[in-house]
Amino acid sequence: MKALSDFVGARRAAHPADRLTEVRMRARRFNRWFGEGPTALYYRTFDLIRVPYPVRYGLLNACRVPIPFLHILNRLFVVQYRSGNRVRTLLFSPSDFKRNRETPFFKRLGESFGPFQKWGEKLIAPISATVEECLASINILPEHVDYISYDHLHTQDIRRWLGTATEPAAFPNAKLLVMRQEWESTLALLPPQRDWYCPHGIEGIDPKKIILLEGDVQLGEGVALIGTPGHTEGNHSLVVNTNSGVLVSSENGISADSYSPLESRIPGVRNFALQTGMEVILNGNTLERGLDQYVSMIQEKEMAGVNQWDARFYNVIPSSELTAYWAFPGIRPTYRFSEQIHGEPQITTRSARSSAA
């Protein structure tokens, strides 16, 4: 695991426009050198669960469809890469969605169905697979998982994955990779944040299983975690070099349209971008750092580069992506990422038992 300095000091300028210019320049440079380097051994996305999400948050101020919700697909990313003489396995965004339902916002939403709660949840939050089922399908055992990570900790309960004094770990050798600011924020939330964090979701976890990142890091060949604050103070993005280019993932934006609003066919989005000059459309349920989020989204798309399948869009695959759904008519992404599979899964019994990488 190696610290990266590509973006150190990029946001120090007093003028916001100067910060954006500097970050954009460095992100393009990062895309070139990272994309010319080695690729990850394996990268695959799995569909986990679709959930309703307020339109006013997901497409902040831009959408003109008069319905309150859209649908987002939560994904699991399985990434394997070489680090020294070891093959490491990273799970990015492994959601324990059964426990995550205790997140205050989603708990209230479920309870709004009253006696039809179970039926309503099945209808509007259909499950595709669990994390365990995804791993079993590619023959990766729980003890093979070295790290788990999330772009931020909204809605996440990670106790089952890492274990506590009273509960064994589902991934006994795994450690959490998280930006220090995200971890510290989760320990002492303000009311605007509290609605989106799962109560007790990190409580009782052995501190030795938490790796606090002080900044950007390259985990190994073709894989990096890059700080992209905004959606939360400690947000970071997964960056993976593949044979199809550099792929970037976070939840700063929820769709390809969010990063290319002038190309969007979602009602209102293109006009909003034309009228305001907005280059990206924020995912804004908390707006912890709105200007930083705007800069971070441009950083993400410049790190990723243009999508090779449709040059109107970028290789930014949201960790929770907007999808069309019959119950929420009128909002359909202009471009949607299909399942991504790059390389072959590496079956190894070498698991991380220390923070050394």
Tens of pLDDT, residue by residue over 177-224, are: 999 999 999 999 999 899 999 999 999 999 999 999 999 999 999 999
Range of the domain at 35: 2-341
| pLDDT 10s digits, 288-337 | 999 999 999 999 999 999 998 999 999 999 999 999 998 898 999 999 99
Does the global pTM surpass 0.85?
Answer: yes
Please indicate, yes or no, if residue 119 is contained in any of the structural domains: yes
| pLDDT 10s digits, 329-348 | 899 999 999 999 999 999 76
CA distances from 172 to 78, 182, 286 (A): 17, 23, 33
Please indicate, yes or no, if residue 294 is contained in any of the structural domains: yes
Q: Which residues contact 141 (CB under 8 A, 6 or more apart)?
A: 135
Do residues 91 and 147 touch, judged by C-beta distance below 8 A?
A: yes
| pLDDT 10s digits, 237-272 | 999 999 999 999 999 999 999 999 999 999 999 999
The continuous run of DSSP H or E covering 154 comes out as none
C-alpha–C-alpha distance, residues 251 and 3, integer Å = 23
Please indicate, yes or no, if residue 353 is contained in any of the structural domains: no
Please indicate, yes or no, if residue 163 is contained in any of the structural domains: yes
Please indicate, yes or no, if residue 245 is contained in any of the structural domains: yes
Please indicate, yes or no, if residue 352 is contained in any of the structural domains: no
Helices (H), 36-82: 55-58
Copy the structure tokens of residue 240: 């993976």
Determine the residue type at 189.
Answer: L
Do residues 333 and 324 touch, judged by C-beta distance below 8 A?
A: yes
CATH classification at residue 211: 3.60.15.10
Copy the structure tokens of residue 186: 């989760």
| pLDDT 10s digits, 82-123 | 999 999 999 999 999 889 989 998 888 887 766 656 666 667
Please indicate, yes or no, if residue 196 is contained in any of the structural domains: yes
Please indicate, yes or no, if residue 138 is contained in any of the structural domains: yes
> What is the domain count for the chain?
1
Residue of higher predicted confidence among 113 and 276:
276
